[in-house]
């Protein structure tokens, strides 16, 4: 297969950061149990992760191709490897703030590099869209694996046990392996660079993206989608623990089931993107997810869970809730691929930076709002709120589909 080695590297890098980024839901739950942190206070971890992503993406997006795509990914993997080997000794909340800050900075480098690299290893719009879908699907496989991995280190009999921190030895090893794999892989970065411009010119190219209405509506779509996605991914473990009253390890495994549903949805998006227009896929998914919220959440009220509940004897709603993720999953790769395929390759880095910035802001806002409503009202009401951004998302996507980008502009 053409470009097999570098494609494999992109998948592996995404896998590593999928585990680290989406462990925030598990960590939030453990912070409440280990250190007595409140929900609203614990929710700031999402900000420590997402704000560095946004800031670094905004600063580095235009310059990254000149810095070097491969070099940027190596720096990111080195940073998270070092931090993972520190975490088993963590004994205070600030360690986790530092961890997610480092993970956020590193992911900014990784995601811009990966999104830029996709245009270098694919040749057509449909191939680009398909590869994006499979890549995002594999990202969710990483989320699933991460939730399962963390659950194996959880002590259900001692909520205050910090034995689970030993999981970071494993994550440090995987990050180091990814670093070595990338180090010995070649990547031709020439098409991602604009030789006609200097750094100031690259910055002007990035700013020029805001002049396109299609880009503006896309950024709104990205913001709204991640706002909904992160609220569900981050707070599902806590929802299962406090609303459904299942054991802690099972609550974290529910996050794995949600990730599995996301992975399946994104792999299917890689298939359906070759068959149908992206707007049909996105519209179907948004409407389907909204309907599933209205049907599934009422089942979580006044539910009785026995202390010996497990995946073999749990009520139906325990399975249904995370499966909703399969409908939400195809939206993000679909809209990302459409906008990236609409602009020249030398602008992909700048566009990827904007994607990461607005996604990070959406994730932070979604998690904090959900955490606040969860604490002050209920978990159900927190998730019902997602119907508002979902409505705005489908309207923005329809408008985005009608707009065109003039490549000569």
Confidence of residue 221 (pLDDT cuts 50, 70, 90): very high
* Model pLDDT, residue 62: 64
Count of CB atoms situated within 10 Å of the CB of 295:
11
Rounded to two decimals, the pTM is 0.73
Q: What are phi and psi of 35, to 5 degrees?
A: -120, 5
State yes or no: pLDDT of 408 exceeds 50: no
**pLDDT for 190:** 67
The pLDDT score that the predictor gives to residue 276 is: 82
Per-residue confidence band for 385, with pLDDT thresholds at 50, 70 and 90? very high
Q: What is the DSSP string of 218-252?
A: HHHHHHHHHHHHHHHHHHHHHHHHHTS---HHHHH
Q: Please give the pLDDT value at position 143.
A: 83
Please state the rounded mean pLDDT for residues 350-360: 83
Q: How far is it, in rounded angstroms, from Cα 259 to Cα 24?
A: 13
Residue found by looking up tokens 């080695």 in the block: 5
Calpha distance 337→389 (Å, rounded): 21
- At residue 196, the pLDDT reads 55
pLDDT, tens digit (0-9, with 9 covering 90-100), for 226-284: 999 888 888 888 888 888 888 888 888 888 888 888 888 888 877 777 778 889 989 99
Length of the chain: 409
Are the CB atoms for 328 and 265 separated by under 8 Å? yes
Mean pLDDT on 116-123: 78
Query: What confidence tens digit (pLDDT) does each residue in 295-306 have?
Result: 999 998 888 777
pLDDT at 282: 93
Task: Answer whether residue 338 shows pLDDT above 70.
Answer: yes
Percent of the chain at pLDDT > 90 equals 26
Q: How far is 242 from 251, CA to CA, in rounded Å?
A: 9
Burial class of 409 by CB neighbour count within 10 A (0 to 12, 13 to 18, 19+): exposed
- How far CA 310 is from CA of 29, 318, 390, in Å, comes to 19, 10, 32
Model confidence at 30, pLDDT cuts 50, 70, 90, reads: confident
**Does the pLDDT of residue 337 top 50, yes or no?**
yes
Contacts of residues 307-311 at CB distance under 8 Å and 24 or more positions apart, as own/partner, are 309/246, 309/247, 309/250, 310/247, 310/250, 311/250, 311/253
pLDDT tens profile 15-26: 989 899 888 888
What pLDDT does residue 409 have?
Answer: 42
Q: What is the 3-state secondary structure (H, E, C) of 259-309?
A: HHHHHHHHHHHHHHCCCCCHHHHHHHHHHHHHHHHHHHHHHHCCCCCCCCC
pLDDT band, very low/low/confident/very high, at 222 (cuts 50, 70, 90):
very high
Per-residue pLDDT at 58 exceeds 90:
no
pLDDT at residue number 191: 60
The pLDDT of residue 198: 56
- Distance in angstroms (rounded) separating the CA atoms of residues 120 and 394: 30
Mean pLDDT of the chain: 84
What's the average model confidence in pLDDT over 346-353?
A: 78
pLDDT confidence bin for 99, thresholds 50/70/90: very high
- Find the largest Cα–Cα distance for the chain: 67
Contacts with 47 (C-beta within 8 Å, 6 or more apart), sequence order: 364, 367, 368
pLDDT above 60: residue 192: no
Please state, for a pLDDT cut of 70, what percent of the chain lies above it. Answer: 93
Q: Give yes or no for a contact between 382 and 243, defined as CB atoms under 8 angstroms apart.
A: no
Q: Which residue has the higher pLDDT, 59 or 75?
A: 75
From 39, 28, 155, select the one nearest 99 (Cα to Cα): 28
pLDDT in tens, 145-177: 888 899 889 888 887 888 899 999 999 999 999
């Amino acid at each position: 297969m053409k470009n097999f080695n570098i494609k494999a590297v992109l998948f592996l890098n995404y896998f590593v950061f999928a585990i680290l980024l989406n462990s925030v839901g598990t960590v939030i739950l453990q912070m409440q149990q280990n250190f007595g942190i409140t929900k609203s206070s614990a929710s700031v971890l999402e900000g420590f992760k997402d704000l560095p992503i946004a800031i670094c993406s905004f600063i580095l997006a235009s310059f990254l191709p000149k810095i070097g795509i491969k070099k940027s990914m190596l720096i990111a993997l080195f940073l998270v490897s070092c931090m993972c080997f520190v975490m088993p000794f963590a004994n205070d909340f600030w360690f986790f703030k530092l961890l997610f800050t480092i993970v956020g900075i590193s992911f900014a480098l990784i995601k811009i590099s990966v999104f830029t690299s996709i245009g270098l290893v694919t040749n057509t719009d449909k191939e680009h869209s398909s590869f994006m879908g499979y890549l995002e699907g594999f990202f969710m496989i990483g989320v699933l694996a991460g939730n399962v991995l963390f659950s194996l280190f959880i002590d259900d009999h001692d909520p205050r046990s910090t034995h689970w921190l030993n999981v970071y030895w494993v994550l440090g090893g995987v990050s180091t392996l990814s670093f070595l794999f990338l180090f010995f892989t070649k990547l031709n970065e020439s098409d991602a660079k604009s030789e006609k411009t200097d750094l100031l010119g690259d910055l002007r190219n990035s700013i020029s993206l805001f002049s396109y209405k299609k880009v503006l509506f896309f950024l709104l779509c990205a913001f709204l989608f991640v706002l909904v996605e992160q609220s569900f991914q981050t707070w599902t473990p806590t929802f299962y623990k406090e609303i459904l009253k299942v054991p802690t390890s099972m609550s974290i495994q529910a996050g794995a089931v949600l990730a599995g549903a996301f992975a399946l949805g994104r792999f299917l998006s890689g298939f359906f993107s070759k068959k149908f227009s992206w707007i049909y896929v996105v519209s179907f998914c948004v409407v389907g997810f909204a309907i599933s919220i209205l049907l599934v959440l009422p089942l979580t009220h006044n539910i009785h869970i026995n202390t010996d509940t497990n995946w073999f004897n749990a009520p139906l709603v325990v399975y249904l809730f995370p499966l909703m993720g399969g409908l939400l999953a195809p939206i993000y790769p679909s809209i990302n691929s459409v906008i990236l395929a609409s602009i020249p390759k030398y602008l992909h880095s700048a566009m990827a930076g904007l994607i990461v910035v607005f996604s990070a802001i959406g994730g932070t806002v979604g998690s904090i709002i959900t955490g606040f409503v969860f604490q002050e009202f209920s978990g159900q009401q927190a998730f019902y709120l997602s119907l508002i951004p979902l409505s705005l998302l489908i309207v923005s996507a329809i408008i985005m589909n009608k707009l065109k980008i003039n490549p000569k502009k």
